[in-house]
Chains A and B, each alone.
Chain A
Amino acid sequence: MSENFRLDNVGLVNRNKKISFKFNGKNYFGYEGDTLASALIANGVHLVGRSFKYHRPRGFFGAGVDEPYAIVQMNRNNEVDPNVRATEQELFEGLEAKSVNCWPNVDFDIGAINNFLNIFFPAGFYYKTFMWPKSFWYKVYEPIIRKAAGFGAASIKHDKERYEHKYEYCDLLITGSGPSGLASAYAAAQNGAKVILAEDKSRFGGTLLTSDETIGNQSGKEWAEKIISELKSMSNVIVKNRSQVFGYYDHNMLVMSERVSDHLPKTEKYTPKQRLWYIRAKEVIISSGSIERPLVFGNNDTPGVMLSSAAKEYLKVYGVLVGKKPIIFTNNDSGYETAIEFKKNGVDPIVLDTRKDTNSEIIKEAKELNINIKFSYVVVAAKGYKKVNSADIAKISDDKKNISSIENIKCDCICVSGFWTPTIHLASQSGNKSKFSEEIDAFIPSQSKQKETTLGSANGVFTLEETLKTSFEKGNELSKKITNKENKVLVPSVVEKKSSNHDKFWCVPLPEGKNYKRFLDFQNDVSVSDIQLALREGYRSIEHVKRYTTLGMATDQGRTSNLNGLQLVSDIENKVVPQVGHTTFRPPYSPISIGAIVGREIGKHSKPTRKSPMHYWHEKNNAVFVDAGVWLRPRYYKQGNENLFEASKREAKNVRQNVGVCDVTTLGKIDIKGPDSAEFLNRVYTNAWLKLPVGKARYGVMLREDGIVMDDGTTTRISENHYHMTTTTAQAANVLTHLEYYLQLVWPELNVNVVSSTEQWAGAAIAGPKSRNLLQRLFPDLDVSNEGLPFMGYMEGKLFGVNAKIYRISFSGELAYEVNVESDYGNFMWEKIIEIGKEFNIQPYGTEALSTLRIEMGHVAGSELDGRTIPYDNSLEGLVSKKKDFIGKRSLNKKAYIESDRQKIVGVVPLDKKTSIPEGSYIVKDAKAKLPNPKLGHVSASCWSVEYDNPFSLAIIKDGKNMIGQKLFAMSPLKNKVIPVEIVSSHYVDPKGERVRS
């Protein structure tokens, strides 16, 4: 298909590079440098979507981020990207996009019937129409509305694209590369400040690209190019295009999204699709410019009605005519610039100016060009369904109340200019309370809360001369404060036309007997009558009106259309706009993809993976790993076709019969030193620590202040003032913080230091009846007899020349030792243990066997110390000192904690001795009782007892100590199981604890 709205020799696109693309299944072509929007318009395509509520045909309204309609679904390199603005999407070879918000297609949309049934869709229609019957909302109304109303469809596939985060610091962050951005960046850069200049579009220069002012003796565009290339060559400046600063957060932190690869057919290797920049700036200059304001008249949403500034941009940047028979409808001088551009390119426009006969330089120029200008004229209504084909125009009275002499004239586009609205979103996000400027009928920033300065048209300054002057000054002033250097640059002279005042009129009255829809918010289909209705129904606060009518919501965030809505509310309410106020501008300024927010923190990268020094041995020996906090631990070592159950049973059995070795490197380790260490431990743990001799270990439990168990572990006195504490793998970091809290804040008088030594030591637990024989072979010079190294004893020795620490402690309930060596020797130690252990039938065991061993011994772990239990619940009362005070002790007197039927840990065995009890099952008295069946407690951990060869579980149940011997039921609604069980002691194996002492 050929283009026919493209002008020769106009615009900045590259005519030497044709690009083919597909829209709604049809093939078109454009040029390098086009956006999807400019290329479609060049091809005469104006119907791009359907509106949100009424499914009215929608075309293009803007030429960039101001676009409320033209949202498309992109298909790029087999990935879907919903909600992309066609006005921002740069064209690339093979681009494929389609319309959203229409079904079955954009030409015939079933939802458009809403347009004719619009009595059902007034303001608040969701709340009113679909509230009855209530049950219909989820089942009937909502799904239909969602299908009919949704924007693009997100992909259900994993996003293969790469997104990055970057952190940056700078002296000045400048948001927008129009005249004010360029001038302030240039001045600041000359003073040696570190500057980041961010431009949302692919081309730098902002309005300089489309205006005909001159700076010095250059055109605005040439001047912009010169400044940019100079800035790019400076090492203290970062210049970024395709980069939108979308959020202004606390303490001058701003976030910018850089669309690194969206303009390419596919993302290149080693580059991300998008990059999110977290920028901490000492000063921020907001040079985000302004957006042209629509004028409101009948059917002002018809394709072909667009902003006059957009029409000018399509013409000057892309060489594309938005129409060949244009009407320019304006209330100020800006519309004339567009009219003159049309005229210069051989197209005859008609200008309708709402003002009474007005004069200014640009109007004079238009007159000299013989442009047809009608003063005191308005567009009453656009005609045409899928595209404007004519307009009803009329004379308007001086008081703007009455229209007369309505006539219909042919046209193919209506370019509207209702003056300019400063883009104050970033300033507003920073906490700057905006103020209303009567002169421009819009809000501008006022008092800064953070270190931000708004310049240029974003600050309501619409002349280039003043913009450049203030921007050079501010750039110089702000950077000088930071760098203490001044290298002042001369402000260039500017030639621009002086403009006349704009007309405050913006909403054309309805002709008698006509009921045209006049839209305020194009994205959300909010019309004048919707706002009127909301106010009639009593909504007053602008925030309420917003939510009731959806004015200024969704991806548009009121950029283009909010102000007209506010003006209407103030007109009806007879208030001035500042009294109405505006709704809160929230980040992001324009939509950001979820991928960019997540960045690289996905899958395996979402947290660090820590591996023990023996990890590669485990891998080589068929270990199947499990996540334990941030660590990877062997769950079991697979032999042949074994499954988890078979392997863990074999490993656990071997510990009970021979000897096993388990990697316990992951246990938290904290080194404690200082003369007050014993006193400190005595306050941290529930049991007594003052009399622990050097060379001995002790088991301890620590509480939070509310009496709940925080963690448990053994601590060994290495020397007089030196202790080695172990914590559970999961709580290691929290325990360190806990200790630091008390040492630094509560008891600073204690002379104690703590430091994590988890990574310094590799640990191997050797457990089983033959463990002593093995230990003796590993340390032939040491006396490791029961007398020489008794239970809870500690020794240092040499393991084939390597310094080792031996702790006689046991988690498995068997005779056991833990050997620690410095991490780098971990693998050496492990291989020696395996090698020498062969003689004793040693087998490595994983966390599953470890669990089995501790469960059948009734040793508590994380599943019992679950943040809800006190020491008594876990039968740890023997460890709670009556004599001394400790952290959390006072809470143990709480009534709920000392009630006689308080929950307690017990053992649970299925009556059939066969059925495993799912963890999390409820224990109940009567399996058939009516729901809700009173719950006695829950099963915390389950295993297959290798000692007795039947299932065994631990449970924490109400009045547990009197329940032993009772026959109850374990119910798991999740697994749909009811299992008759008997309650037994939690110490199922070796209840007297003889083995550990043997």
Chain B
Amino acid sequence: MLHIKCPHCGLRSQNEFSYGGDASVKRPELNKEISDQDWDNYVYLRKSPRGKHLELWQHISGCRQWIKVERDTLTHEIFKTLKANEEV
């Protein structure tokens, strides 16, 4: 079980969190023209890297904040955790 450092609460076990996918994905802006291809990429396509991955987790049984976690998908090493508004 991973040990994740919530930037708001501190080190907590994985079972307090829920996973939210790739943190680098940006939602297209509202009311903006966008091609079918770009929209489909946003909705469906995700990279599945082996190694470093910036991902979203929500501290669902804690402060309920969405946080960013930089994790190695192979070794599960966590390099860094960030608040939602922070960039790597």
Contacts and interface: CB of A to CB of B under 8 A. Distances in A.
A253 B3 contact: yes
Contacts of B43: 705-706, 891
A497 B23 CA distance: 62
Interface string B16-39: 001010000001101100101001
Contact of B58 (A253, A449, A737, A891): A737
Contacts of A435: none
A242 interface: no
A745 B25 CA distance: 11
A249 interface: yes
A378 B65 CA distance: 69
Nearest to A893: B36
Interface string A205-218: 00000000000000
Contacts of B46: none
Given A250-B76, A251-B76, A741 B20 contact: yes
B42 A278 contact: no
A740 B3 contact: no
Given A683-B30, A890-B34, A890-B39, A748 B85 contact: yes
A745 B78 CA distance: 21
A695 interface: no
Interface string A695-728: 0000000000110000000000000000000000
B48 interface: no
A734 to B, nearest CB: 10
Nearest to B34: A890
Contact of B66 (A253, A431, A745): A745
B64 interface: yes
Contacts of A748: 84-85
B64 A740 contact: yes
Contacts of A278: 1
Interface string A44-85: 000000000000000000000000000000000000000000
Given A278-B1, A280-B3, A705-B42, A746 B27 contact: yes
A891 B39 contact: yes
Contact of B18 (A251, A705, A737, A885): A737
Nearest to B78: A251
A278 B75 CA distance: 20
Nearest to B66: A744
Nearest to B32: A885
Interface string A883-918: 011000011010000000000000000000000000
Contacts of A744: 65-66, 84
Interface in A742-770: 744-746, 748
Contacts of B27: 705, 746
B3 A885 contact: no
A750 to B, nearest CB: 11
Contacts of A431: 75
A740 B84 CA distance: 11
B3 A251 contact: yes
A868 to B, nearest CB: 16
Contacts of A884: 31
A252 B84 contact: no
A893 B33 CA distance: 13
A746 B60 CA distance: 18
B15 to A, nearest CB: 10
Contacts of A740: 58, 64, 66
A503 to B, nearest CB: 40
A745 B1 contact: no
Nearest to A754: B64
A884 B31 CA distance: 8
Interface in A250-271: 250-253
B84 A251 contact: no
Interface in B36-88: 36, 39, 42-44, 56, 58, 60, 64-66, 75-76, 78, 84-85
Contacts of A885: 30-31
Contacts of B60: 737
A449 B13 CA distance: 19
Nearest to A886: B30
A434 B34 CA distance: 53
Contacts of B64: 740
Contacts of A741: 20, 58, 66
A600 to B, nearest CB: 15
Interface in A809-834: none
A745 B39 contact: no
A720 to B, nearest CB: 23
Contacts of B20: 741
B61 to A, nearest CB: 11
A893 B76 CA distance: 39
B55 to A, nearest CB: 12
A127 to B, nearest CB: 32
A131 to B, nearest CB: 36
A280 B15 CA distance: 13
Nearest to A748: B85
Residue among B2, B30, B65 with the highest chain A CB neighbour number at 10 A: B30
A746 B42 CA distance: 13
Interface in A425-461: 431, 449
A760 to B, nearest CB: 17
A744 B59 CA distance: 12
A249 B42 CA distance: 34
Interface in A193-251: 249-251
Interface in A845-887: 884-885
B84 A745 contact: yes
B1 A249 contact: yes
A449 B31 CA distance: 49
A970 B43 CA distance: 36
Nearest to B44: A706
Nearest to A250: B76
Nearest to B83: A744
A449 B77 CA distance: 10
Contact of B13 (A280, A683, A891): A280
Nearest to A705: B43
A251 B66 contact: no
A365 B48 CA distance: 65
Contacts of B78: 251
B76 to A, nearest CB: 5
B18 to A, nearest CB: 7
Nearest to A895: B36
Given A705-B43, A740-B66, A741-B20, A251 B75 contact: no
Given A705-B43, A706-B43, A252 B3 contact: yes
Contacts of A253: 1, 3, 13
A727 B27 CA distance: 24
A520 to B, nearest CB: 33
A94 B2 CA distance: 44
Contacts of A891: 39, 43
A251 B2 contact: yes
B6 to A, nearest CB: 13
Contacts of B66: 740-741, 744-745
Given A280-B13, A740-B66, A891-B43, A745 B56 contact: yes
21 contacts: A167-B13, A250-B1, A250-B2, A250-B3, A251-B1, A251-B2, A252-B3, A278-B1, A431-B75, A683-B30, A705-B43, A706-B44, A737-B18, A737-B58, A740-B58, A741-B58, A741-B66, A884-B31, A890-B28, A890-B39, A893-B36
Closest 10 CB pairs of A and B: A251-B3, A885-B30, A250-B76, A744-B66, A885-B31, A744-B84, A253-B1, A746-B27, A890-B39, A705-B43
Interface of A: 167, 249-253, 278, 280, 431, 449, 683, 705-706, 737, 740-741, 744-746, 748, 884-885, 890-891, 893
Given A251-B78, A740-B64, A891-B39, 4 more contacts: A250-B2, A253-B3, A278-B1, A706-B43
